[in-house]
Structure 1
């Protein structure tokens, strides 16, 4: 049966999930490559990892840690799910996915936690693909755990919580269970978390060696069985870390990241891209462009507007809207940001009278979303946003600008070549006053 968007406002409302990525088979997916003004993002990522998509040539580097930047909610996870179709295969990559928001505590994350989760995800993926490893491949990691972790009080207590310990259930099943237990402890067990992190940190060099040895053996096995040539980790959720935690993970823990001889893609918040001390440590120039509604000079961009309209009408049937103009205004006021569009749609469903999204409903939704920005914007923010809108340029990377990018009050287009304030911000009194002062200064007579 062909997909039909919900035609009941209550159903539309209950189906809206901000954190829900759309997989390859999801009929709500809209191809936004042209709408974002860049067709090369997938090609560039593949080349960074050593794959030429045009003819399948493969020459992967020994290691590569790629940051995949983009505004929060701009669709990075959804796009990566679709990129995976092109990246995986017998003569390409063996993909291992990890979402840290599900497996770990994103409000208190260290790289040590992530490495434990990566190991668990790798073991689970190998088991799923029915790839068997001999004892020699697993032994270095098992020995590290036995000598470094299971000898501690926290390690012994956690091992006792297993219904069957690692030594009671050997091989991959035992390691999957062991790593799952420790990953859960990193997420929820405050008592053990600090001690385990200290053990991992103090023995990280040996852990990295054991993990790297395992990866090399796994990749030999993948090639021998025709299941892939290299392991590629895709780590999602790292773009949702808080500001200080983001810097701790990607900057302070960078040496630990780089000690792992793996191919890894991490989602990352756009604001991190402009941290000066990030340069040179990680591959940090790949951005998922925003969907643009207009070019830099203000000329409407039909591909972008059409894609955003399609995203909206995949979520809510056309019959729910009183007029085309109401759809157009929702498209315009989301700024081309998919999650902001969903936020506006959610508000419309909550405000709608007579179960119809009309002009008054759209007005109420826009005002409500604008009020949410008003709560954190400061007078100096409005002044900066007004100045950026006047010359429509990059406008620097100071701390205030990075904060506005992180909070979506400032949106970036065309791989960062130009920026514009969020459309709902421009209806706020603070912004209008700041813009009026700039205009007055331009027309004031010279002294």
Structure 2
């Protein structure tokens, strides 16, 4: 009888799972790919804050293919910064924003809300009432005709009655199942966070309300930024330093997922937010890290982007399975094998896992084949593995069933590729280059092509599953 539990193995391959750095269980699954990704990018971000500019606000941009592991790396950065005595506010912006329709005001409200919530949870720190910002929220509330009373009661699902004292502590009282009330009695910060939360939740569901909120906030952008800095961020940083912390860091994840729709002035949304309004993003008086769409690395506005935000974006590339010359990337493949085997045997050392490949696959070559066709895209690798487990439903997983999964995936991908795109793919296969925004949108944005980095810089490879179909010859 084998050592491996197929059900647990399947659960561990969830491609949507973000590994949390402070979770002992998740830590068993983590593989450090930095050596084959062109450097220790997260360490660079950390040092820019902790060593080079601990007392001066910094603004950083972080990007890469969706699903390449950015969130996992950012959570590790959060843990490292907290160990360095910074207070870190990390949040996924997609929970607060409608990614198809985002404005600077929306981002600022989300940041203000998350800072307020995070600081409100600290026992030793209380902030002065942000009266100016409160007036802005009150005005938005009246405009949207909601029934929010920022200093009284708001309904939240799934909890009992919660009272917020002047110290920011909460106590839960009995309430009907599924229905409860939150009372923010004296703590203005708590009521402010509730108010912003109600506004963003309401507008996220309604295009009409989002337009009303934008029309209200847009003329006040400079005032809102100044108010957030003066009434919220600067007092927060001061209080944190009095409590022994070195500063405040805000990590805004998932902002790279904003959709490529047309915004004001016929501008694509990524360019509108990060280029046209980039100066607003860097004016917060604390350390801020934004994830940004990878498409901006190929935009004609890239130079304007780096000028407006005064920073070069950090890119998290794919894990190479091959080198530029076509030979196998030994270290990349070694790490990808461990990524798969760690899901099967999280409690074993790497060398022990290698001795148990036969528990998982019918041959070591089957595991290598799986890693190669993933192209080093970590989420794609897990998706392929999960599909294989679902279809075969028994161990060891066979090469025969893996080839069926690859063939099915390739046939599905092929349906969406037209003659013009095949011609572009042929050019990439020959030149290992992608040029300009148009080619990015067609090739990289749709994961038909992957980007890699080495000591010579960037290079590109056609998705290995597509490359095998024969259409590129």
Query: With structure 2 as the length reference, what TM-score do the two structures score?
Result: 0.80
Residue 30 (structure 1) aligned with residue 71 (structure 2): no
CA contact (8 A) 2:295 2:437 kept: no
Seen in structure 2, the aligned counterparts of structure 1 residues 169 and 184 have a Cα distance that, compared at 3 Å, is: farther
**What CA deviation, in whole Å up to 9, does each residue of 1:331-366 have, x standing for no partner?**
110011101101211221232165542111110111
CA contact (8 A) 1:120 1:175 kept: yes
CA contact (8 A) 1:98 1:235 kept: yes
Residue number among 277, 296, 316 corresponding to 2:324 in the alignment: 296
Mapped to 1, the partners of 2:114 and 2:184 lie a distance apart of 20
Report SS of the residue matched to 2:105: helix
CA contact (8 A) 1:274 1:402 kept: no
CA contact (8 A) 2:375 2:464 kept: yes
CA contact (8 A) 2:78 2:88 kept: yes
Mapped to 2, the partners of 1:429 and 1:300 lie a distance apart of 21
**What CA deviation, in whole Å up to 9, does each residue of 1:264-323 have, x standing for no partner?**
111223222121213312224311132112322223222211111111122346423111
- What is the CA-CA distance between 1:131 and the residue it aligns to? 4.2
CA contact (8 A) 2:148 2:198 kept: yes
**What CA deviation, in whole Å up to 9, does each residue of 1:47-88 have, x standing for no partner?**
443x33xxxx654433x3321011111101101111222223
Residue 369 (structure 1) aligned with residue 409 (structure 2): yes
CA contact (8 A) 1:274 1:397 kept: yes
CA contact (8 A) 2:59 2:282 kept: yes
Mapped to 1, the partners of 2:370 and 2:101 lie a distance apart of 36
Greater share of residues in strand? 2
**What CA deviation, in whole Å up to 9, does each residue of 1:174-225 have, x standing for no partner?**
1222122122123224453321222111222221111011211111111111
Mapped to 2, the partners of 1:419 and 1:230 lie a distance apart of 39
2:364 maps to what in 1? 324
Count of aligned pairs:
415
Mapped to 2, the partners of 1:181 and 1:116 lie a distance apart of 11
Residue number among 118, 136, 141 corresponding to 2:133 in the alignment: 141
Seen in structure 2, the aligned counterparts of structure 1 residues 352 and 109 have a Cα distance that, compared at 3 Å, is: same
Two-structure CA RMSD over aligned residues (Å): 2.6
1:441 maps to what in 2? none
Residue number among 272, 280, 299 corresponding to 1:248 in the alignment: 272
- What is the CA-CA distance between 1:386 and the residue it aligns to? 2.1
Report SS of the residue matched to 1:414: strand
Seen in structure 2, the aligned counterparts of structure 1 residues 264 and 403 have a Cα distance that, compared at 3 Å, is: farther
Q: Structure 1: any 5+ residue segments left out of the alignment?
A: 436-447
Report SS of the residue matched to 2:447: coil
2:289 maps to what in 1? 265
Mapped to 1, the partners of 2:36 and 2:384 lie a distance apart of 20
Residue number among 444, 458, 467 corresponding to 1:417 in the alignment: 458
- What is the CA-CA distance between 1:121 and the residue it aligns to? 0.9
Residue number among 74, 79, 96 corresponding to 1:80 in the alignment: 74
Residue 21 (structure 1) aligned with residue 11 (structure 2): no
Q: Structure 2: any 5+ residue segments left out of the alignment?
A: 156-180, 262-268, 346-356
Mapped to 1, the partners of 2:207 and 2:66 lie a distance apart of 28
1:204 maps to what in 2? 221
1:286 maps to what in 2? 314
Mapped to 2, the partners of 1:100 and 1:6 lie a distance apart of 37
Residue 61 (structure 1) aligned with residue 56 (structure 2): yes
Q: Which moved more, 1:380-389 or 1:71-80?
A: 380-389
1:443 maps to what in 2? none
Mapped to 1, the partners of 2:80 and 2:379 lie a distance apart of 25
- What is the CA-CA distance between 1:115 and the residue it aligns to? 1.6
Q: Which moved more, 1:229-238 or 1:413-422?
A: 413-422
Mapped to 2, the partners of 1:404 and 1:150 lie a distance apart of 43
Residue number among 216, 221, 230 corresponding to 2:239 in the alignment: 221
Instruction: List aligned pairs for 1:40-189, cutoff 5 A.
Output: 41-49=41-49, 51-52=50-51, 58-62=53-57, 64-89=58-83, 92-136=85-129, 138-146=130-138, 148-152=139-143, 154-159=144-149, 162-163=154-155, 168-189=185-206
Report SS of the residue matched to 1:390: helix
CA contact (8 A) 1:389 1:420 kept: yes
CA contact (8 A) 1:65 1:264 kept: yes
- What is the CA-CA distance between 1:156 and the residue it aligns to? 4.8
Mapped to 2, the partners of 1:167 and 1:96 lie a distance apart of 22
Query: With structure 1 as the length reference, what TM-score do the two structures score?
Result: 0.84
Mapped to 2, the partners of 1:355 and 1:217 lie a distance apart of 58
Mapped to 2, the partners of 1:88 and 1:142 lie a distance apart of 29
CA contact (8 A) 1:38 1:414 kept: no
Mapped to 2, the partners of 1:114 and 1:344 lie a distance apart of 35
Residue number among 436, 441, 445 corresponding to 1:397 in the alignment: 436
Mapped to 2, the partners of 1:236 and 1:5 lie a distance apart of 38
Seen in structure 2, the aligned counterparts of structure 1 residues 165 and 362 have a Cα distance that, compared at 3 Å, is: closer
1:439 maps to what in 2? none
2:5 maps to what in 1? 7
Q: Which moved more, 1:103-112 or 1:178-187?
A: 103-112
